[in-house]
Structures are given as structure tokens and as C-alpha cells.
Amino acid sequence: MVNCGLLTGLNEPVPLKSISVEVRVQDHVASVSSTLQYVNEEQRPLEALFVFPLPADAAVCHFSAKIGEQEIVAELQDKETAKDQYDDAVSSGQQAFLLEESAESPDVFRLSVGCLSPGQNAAVTIIYITELAVQADQSLRFCLPAVLNPRYTPAGSDAGIVSEISSVCGAVPYSLTLSVHVSSPKPISKLESNCTLDPLVFLCSDHTQATVNLSPGHMFDRDVELFLYYQDTHQPSAVVEAGVATAPSGSLMRNPVVMITLYPEFPEEVMSSMATQGEFVFVMDRSGSMDGMMHRGKEAQHRIESAKDTLLLLLKSLPMGCYFNIYGFGSEFESFFPKSVEYSQDTMDQALKRVMEMRADMCGTEILQPLTHIYSQPCIPEHPRQLFIFTDGEVGNTKEVLDLVKSHAHSHRCFSFGIGEGASTALITGLAREGSGHAQFITGRERMQPKAMESLRFALQPAVSNISVDWTLPEGVTAETVSPPIDVLFQGQRTLIYAQLKGKSLGGSEGSVTVKYNLNSQPVSNQLHFCIKPTEETGLVVHRLAARTIIRSLEQKERSSAESKSLRSSIVELSVQAGVSSVHTAFIGINKDTKQTVKGPLQRRRVPTYDYFEDLKCARFLPPRAKRRMPKFQLGALLRMPKFQLGALLRMPKFQFGDVLHGTGQLLAGCSSAVELTSLRYTSLGCGSIRTQEHDEERSDSRKLSSQKQTAPEPPQDMLLPLVSLQKASGCWELDAALAAVFGKTEDELTNQKPAQVDGSMWATILALIWLYSWRKEQQVEWQFVAQKAAAWIASEKVGDLSQCVCVGNVLLGCQVTKDSLGI
């Protein structure tokens, strides 16, 4: 990583002391105010840089700074003009603040705090608004990102400010306070979080308003997630917001804007017959960071291991007759098959064997190359392409990747998964948006498998076509839809529509909006009636979200258009009018009352953001060939080295470094601590090793600990994946010792109880279904398609009444399920 301008060692003071956040949730929208407390503890003027993440769809609409009793409210200006003003102000000794968005990824912002005098405090406030994502359990998710993982930059590209991200291992040296106020027309059921909260306090008897605080003492070392539950959350709604009377006539900010929230409901007869065709392409991140842990708990899996389990479940859940392929990518990429192959027992077995061999050993995170290759492959007739992308989302060319996906949106649907805290929201949500699919984030202790199976359920839903939006409004009133055309609809998933209302007589009359589309060649429509009277005190939230939607569309058009100058001008104009940040604008605030002459260069301090997996990312400094050739235990030792020690190792002559990689002289194999690894700097590897008695004792202690770890009992294994792994591609199981072991039985016990009217495979398949519905009912979302395949296979065998088999199976496995509940 590039730490430009970092002039201090690791032990010097950090100017950021605390972050205070206030969140106001109105129905489906959150307004977030973050205040950052800085202090200059040094003896000379200081410039602080703080690179931090925000939600990809956030609209930053306010930036101010308070120095003592004086508050400076920043203006939104053309970015180049703002930068010039900032540089001029700082060089002349004036206090200045600059907030700008990354040119590569809209979820990364950089805050420059210029010319803080010695001992001076500054409180910087940033306000942004964002839509809340709907989860599978119908909750609304708000995420306050804490982790900004360094973004991988492809060779030969310029990553701009993304390359300036710096991280530290361990706890961040500043704390977080968070308060939340929720108001909604629907009663609030509950509010949950991945962090400890104080009790929820309701402010009125109908439970439509409530407050809650993060418990004291929270260190901002991970994302803070809130899950908000409303009653009747699936009800469509509309908010009409009045415009600004002083805005230019005919502009977005002058007229009222309506935000429509719809939940399409597909006919039952359509949903009962899921698709059995398709080309399923799974794209798996195998970069070095995928070797990190899913979370910091005792039972955490490595990310790559969780991904392998998920691929197993997906492969077992595919319908017979479809096509599939699996890609792994890092600095390069590879595919399991030259092109997608038909799903069968043979191809599934080949794929599963390679899945079990997958490692996080492909270095960087260059996702553009595999996507380009996939799109170059011709689509298979009658088999719609469904792309599943799993990544921890640390790329530096986000917008280039999204433009590629958008250019092929007509030929596929894209389902994306952000693994772990710090995954780029801009990349993950953007892939799904441009690819007409669905985005999922797996954070904290969440498991990847349920989320993957939910997306597979969406992928198996029939594709919606010919989507149109029709408005019915009073005479003299028109609606101009400002959000992009709707490209995708899923059963029960939220759809947002923004529209500018024009006309003089809006009054309190009613209007309606109708979304029409074709589903399996039959016409379907969903309608919502709403009152046109504007809602009071919305704080221009709807206008700014609509403006952000238009700005993002214009930015994407600009990147692929010859008329970039005129588009840039339109972006800047709308951005300044709406007070919403864009890639071409920045917030600039200058305290012109401070005009002290600055003697000598400003000290520049990089404010750290937390990165739990930073030690893994040190491996990016190693040559790819070297990492592939190193034994696993040696590479692990290198990954645990502090950066400065790793740097010393890499400065060794070539022949010495080669000796380390190949383990000659048993040097690296014997290094059990950072102290010993550091001693390599002073050792001539060609002439043997020099170890002190202290080092030998450390190595001995380490070996004792290693021996203790090897003999420690392992936690009991969850038998769901072992059972699923035994299922055949057709949907049946075989009666053998492996299946019996899953049930805690012997093969003879299963065979002796088999009813005479069924063969071994039928008996085994019925037992597997009984076990799933009895002992893993709470995980049904994960095995639903496995069970459907099994039930379909049983039906195809035409055995007759299986009631006796189910009864005997219940007794054998200690269960109580009915034949009908098994779907057979």
C-alpha cells in the first residue's frame, strides 16, 4: 500500500480521538450525522488525512467544522476549484477542510483537515442520507462501515486516492458513540444489532417512534449493523416532498418529488413452477485476503473454506439438465471447464473434486479479466445465464468493472456476494444493480450458505420482461420518472421509483402508479394509490436521493460518451443545486480568520482505519510465484510478520531470499516468533544460521503450544453438509455406510429396517428427507432445493403409497414427520 506523506513512525500520536453518530430513520430512509473529533497534539501545524467508507448509495449533503466556538459550513463546488482553494488556504496558514469522493469507487471518501495549530481541537460533521436495504427476513438493514480494507489495484492502473488508504492491526485508537431515532407510519416491532445496544425506548403508545443508543465503551473496530423490523413492512407506500421555492424554475429541486415503494407480488401459479433451465456461472475470489477469517469468534471459518461449503451446496441444488461452470480469480483466473457443461453426475463430481482443492492462493483481486472472458463466451439457447460472484470486494477499478457488467446486462443476471466486513458496497451493490440481479453481504457471524441459496431462489424465478411504469394523475399534473428504467423484479423484493411532479394544482388530490410487466408470457400489474399533498418536514431527503440517482446515471453515461464535457457540466450543476456530492464536486470550508504564517512544511498524518486482515495483505508484497512455491507453514509465518520486518526480508539478496522460500537450512521452518524472523536480517543464509538460546527457548515454547493445539478436541461437526454431499445429481441418496454415519447408525441397522416394497436408493432418500425435515427444519432455506430434487426423483420412480416407509423411517430416526410434509 502507498502511504504518501506519512512522516511519522508507528508510535506517534493520531489526531482523531472520537466519532459521534446520530441516525434518524424515517420509514425506509436514514439520515446520518457523523462528528469526528480531532486534536493536534504536536508542536507544529498539522494536516490530517482520514480516508473512510460510506454506503455506496449514500448522498453526502452537508459538511461543517467547528474550531472552538466558530463553525465553518462548507460549500459544494467543482472539485478542481475546491482543491485549488484548499491548497491556497493551507499554504497561506488558513484552516481549511476538504471532503471529496474517490474517482474510482463512490463508497470511499477522503477528508483533509488542513493547518490545525498545535494543541487545537476541531469537530468535523458530515451528514449523508441513504436508503435502507431490505433483508430476507423483511428487516431493514443500516450499516455504519468501520472497516476500509485496502483496495487491490490492477497492474498498470492509477488508483487515485484509493491507494492512499492506510490501516492498522489491533484496535483503533478512537471510540464511537451512536444514537438512533426511528419514526414510521408503521409500528416498530423491534431493533437488533451485531453490537450491544441499550434497551429500545418507545416515544409514543402506537410504537411508531423509538430511540436506542449503542452501549458505552464500544471501540469502532468493526461495522455497526442495525436491523429494524416494522409491522406490515411489505405494504406499498409513497412519500411526496415539496420543492424549494428559491430553486430555478423547472429544476428538480423546485418541483415536488415522489418516492414510490412497491413490493411486486407474482401469481401463485407462476411461483409454484420454478425454472429448471439456465447456465449458472460461479465466480469465486481466491485472492490472498480470502484466507482471512469470517469473523473473530472461536468457531470462525476461513473465508475460502466457507466459500467452498457454499459451492458444494449450490452444486447439489442445481436442477438436472442445466449448464454450469466455476471460475477462480486473483491476479489471474482459471475455470473448471473450457466452457459451461451440462449438469450431470459426472460433471458434478469433477467440479466437487476441484472445489475441495481450492485455496486462497491467487494473490490480487483482478475481477475484470474473468468477467471479460465469461462475456466473450456465447450464451446457450434456452438457458438464461446467471452469474454468481463471491468476493471480499477489494478492487480499485470498481467503475470500470460496473461499466462492463452494464454493457452485457441484456445477456445475463448477476448475483453478488460481499464477504466479510470492509467489502466494497459500491462493487457488490453495483454488480447486482447493473446486472439486474440481487446483492448480499455476509458480515459478522452470518453464514454464507443461506444467503447464497436465497439468491439461487431468485435466479430460478422466471425473468420479468417488458416492464413499464404508468402514472394516473389529476388534470394538469404530470410525472417525470427520474430513476433509471426498472430492469428486474423479484417476488416480494422492494422496488423504488423516484419521479418529479409538474403542474400547478397539486392540492390534496390523489394519483396512482402502475407497474406492468410480462411473467411467463402472461401480463401482470401492481398498482399503488397515493395522496399528492406533500409531506411536511422531510428535510429534502427525497429530493436529494432522487438527485443522487440522476447523478450516478450521468456519471456512468459520461464514462462511455464522447460528450463528456457537457455531461460533466450537468453533473456539477445538479450536484451543487441539490447539495449532494459527486465525483466532480467537493465540499470546501475555509476559516479565513486564521492567517498565521506557517514556518516549514506541514506535518501530514495518516489517520488509521481498522483492518483485521492487514497481516494477510502484507503477502501482496511477495512475488506470486514465490507464494505458490512456499510451503503453507512458511507462508503463514511470513504473513504474521510486521510490515517493517517483511520489508527487511524482501531487501535481501536474491539467493538468500530464494533460500528462505525453499526452506534450506531449516531457517524459516525453525522460526516460531517475530523475534526470530527479524533475526534473518542479520543472518547470512548461505553460511548457516545464528540463533540465540533465547530464540531456541521461544521455539520450544511455540512447539509445545502447537502440540497442545493438535491434541485439543474438535467441536462436534454439523452433519447437514456431509448429508448434502452424499446426494446424487439426480436427487437420490444411496444406502451405504457413509449415509448411516450421518444418522448415527450402522449400515446394517438401515438395511435391516428397509421395507420390502422399496429398493435401497428409495429407502435412503426417504430417510434423508425425514432427517432434514426433523433435525434441520430451521435451516430449510439452505436445503430447500436439495429436498425438492429428492421429492421429484421419488415421484419419477412411481413406487406408490410410501406411508409405511415414512412410518418406519420415523421410528428408526426418532422423528415424527408426515408423508405430506415431505412433499412426496
- Burial of residue 814 (CB within 10 Å: 0-12, 13-18, 19+) is exposed
Binned at pLDDT 50, 70 and 90, residue 171 comes out as low
**pLDDT given for residue 595 in this prediction:** 53
When pLDDT is averaged across residues 387-406 and rounded to a whole number, the result is: 86
Render pLDDT for 123-135 as a digit per residue (tens, 0 to 9): 889 999 999 888 8
Radius of gyration of the chain (CA): 29
> Using CA atoms, how far apart are residues 415 and 385, in angstroms rounded to an integer?
11
When pLDDT is averaged across residues 611-634 and rounded to a whole number, the result is: 42
Higher pLDDT, 173 or 377: 377
Q: Does residue 226 carry a pLDDT above 60? A: yes
Higher pLDDT, 633 or 177: 177
Render pLDDT for 75-98 as a digit per residue (tens, 0 to 9): 999 999 999 999 998 888 888 899
> Using CA atoms, how far apart are residues 567 and 557, in angstroms rounded to an integer?
8
**pLDDT given for residue 127 in this prediction:** 94
Binned at pLDDT 50, 70 and 90, residue 508 comes out as low
What is the CA 564 to chain-centroid distance, rounded? 30
**pLDDT given for residue 671 in this prediction:** 36
**pLDDT given for residue 399 in this prediction:** 84
Higher pLDDT, 113 or 156: 113
**pLDDT given for residue 288 in this prediction:** 86
Q: Does residue 110 carry a pLDDT above 90? A: no
Q: Does residue 597 carry a pLDDT above 80? A: no
| Cα separations in angstroms, 759 against 468, 488, 735, 803 | 53, 45, 9, 15
When pLDDT is averaged across residues 43-52 and rounded to a whole number, the result is: 77
Cα torsion 523, 529, 532, 537 to 10°: value is -110
Among 184-188, 303-307, 677-681, the least confident range: 677-681
CA atoms within 13 A on the CB side of 678: 9
The single-letter code of the amino acid at 58 is: A
> Using CA atoms, how far apart are residues 325 and 343, in angstroms rounded to an integer?
9
Render pLDDT for 404-445 as a digit per residue (tens, 0 to 9): 998 888 888 899 999 887 778 888 988 988 888 888 888 777
**pLDDT given for residue 805 in this prediction:** 94
When pLDDT is averaged across residues 436-462 and rounded to a whole number, the result is: 86
> Using CA atoms, how far apart are residues 794 and 732, in angstroms rounded to an integer?
8
Render pLDDT for 768-786 as a digit per residue (tens, 0 to 9): 999 999 999 989 999 999 9
Task: Look at strands 279-285 and 323-329 and give their pairing.
Answer: parallel
The H or E element spanning position 333 is strand 333-335
Strand, coil or helix: 15: coil
> Using CA atoms, how far apart are residues 103 and 160, in angstroms rounded to an integer?
7
> Using CA atoms, how far apart are residues 396 and 400, in angstroms rounded to an integer?
9
Render pLDDT for 381-391 as a digit per residue (tens, 0 to 9): 888 899 999 99
**pLDDT given for residue 16 in this prediction:** 75
**pLDDT given for residue 717 in this prediction:** 55
Q: Does residue 324 carry a pLDDT above 70? A: yes
When pLDDT is averaged across residues 704-719 and rounded to a whole number, the result is: 43
When pLDDT is averaged across residues 809-814 and rounded to a whole number, the result is: 94
When pLDDT is averaged across residues 488-517 and rounded to a whole number, the result is: 82
The H or E element spanning position 238 is strand 237-241
Binned at pLDDT 50, 70 and 90, residue 716 comes out as very low
When pLDDT is averaged across residues 731-751 and rounded to a whole number, the result is: 94
Grid coordinates standing for 734?
A: 444411496
- Burial of residue 227 (CB within 10 Å: 0-12, 13-18, 19+) is middle
- Could you give the percent of the chain with pLDDT greater than 70? 77
**pLDDT given for residue 441 in this prediction:** 87
DSSP-derived letter for residue 436 is T
Binned at pLDDT 50, 70 and 90, residue 609 comes out as low
Higher pLDDT, 712 or 148: 148
**pLDDT given for residue 660 in this prediction:** 43
Q: Does residue 505 carry a pLDDT above 80? A: no
> Using CA atoms, how far apart are residues 109 and 563, in angstroms rounded to an integer?
27
**pLDDT given for residue 95 in this prediction:** 85
Per DSSP, the chain holds a count of helices (H) and strands (E) of 24, 34
> Using CA atoms, how far apart are residues 414 and 430, in angstroms rounded to an integer?
10
Report the candidate in 210, 239, 214, 240 with the shortest Cα–Cα distance to residue 225: 214
Among 241-245, 368-372, 610-614, the least confident range: 610-614
Site of grid cell 524472523: 677
**pLDDT given for residue 349 in this prediction:** 96
Q: Does residue 355 carry a pLDDT above 90? A: yes
**pLDDT given for residue 682 in this prediction:** 26
Binned at pLDDT 50, 70 and 90, residue 735 comes out as very high
DSSP-derived letter for residue 26 is E
CA atoms within 13 A on the CB side of 640: 14
Q: Does residue 60 carry a pLDDT above 70? A: yes
Grid coordinates standing for 667?
A: 531457517
Helix, strand, coil content of the chain in percent (nearest 5): 35, 25, 40
The single-letter code of the amino acid at 305 is: E
**pLDDT given for residue 702 in this prediction:** 38
**pLDDT given for residue 594 in this prediction:** 60
Q: Does residue 10 carry a pLDDT above 70? A: no
**Ordered structural domains, the chain, with CATH:** 16-231+579-606 (2.60.40), 237-270+464-577 (2.60.40), 275-460 (3.40.50.410), 622-706 (no CATH), 724-822 (no CATH)
Higher pLDDT, 720 or 194: 720
**pLDDT given for residue 15 in this prediction:** 66
Report the candidate in 293, 313, 421 with the shortest Cα–Cα distance to residue 789: 313
CA triplet 61, 66, 69: central angle to 5 degrees?
140
> Do residues 139 and 227 lie in contact, with contact meaning Cβ atoms separated by under 8 Å?
yes
Task: Look at strands 478-481 and 464-472 and give their pairing.
Answer: unpaired
**pLDDT given for residue 222 in this prediction:** 73
> Do residues 525 and 514 lie in contact, with contact meaning Cβ atoms separated by under 8 Å?
yes
Cβ neighbours of 155 (radius 10 Å)? 7
Cβ neighbours of 6 (radius 10 Å)? 14
**pLDDT given for residue 121 in this prediction:** 84
When pLDDT is averaged across residues 527-541 and rounded to a whole number, the result is: 82
Task: Give all strands of the β-sheet with 201-202 in edge-to-edge order.
Answer: 70-73, 59-67, 121-131, 29-39, 16-26, 175-183, 209-213, 201-202
Among 142-146, 200-204, 394-398, 676-680, the least confident range: 676-680
Q: Does residue 548 carry a pLDDT above 90? A: yes
Mean residue pLDDT of the chain comes to 79
Checking phi first, is residue 778 left (phi over 0); if not, alpha (psi -120 to 50) or beta?
alpha
> Using CA atoms, how far apart are residues 210 and 180, in angstroms rounded to an integer?
8
User: What backbone torsions phi and psi does residue 76 show, to the nearest 5 degrees?
Assistant: -95, 120
Cα torsion 760, 762, 767, 770 to 10°: value is 180
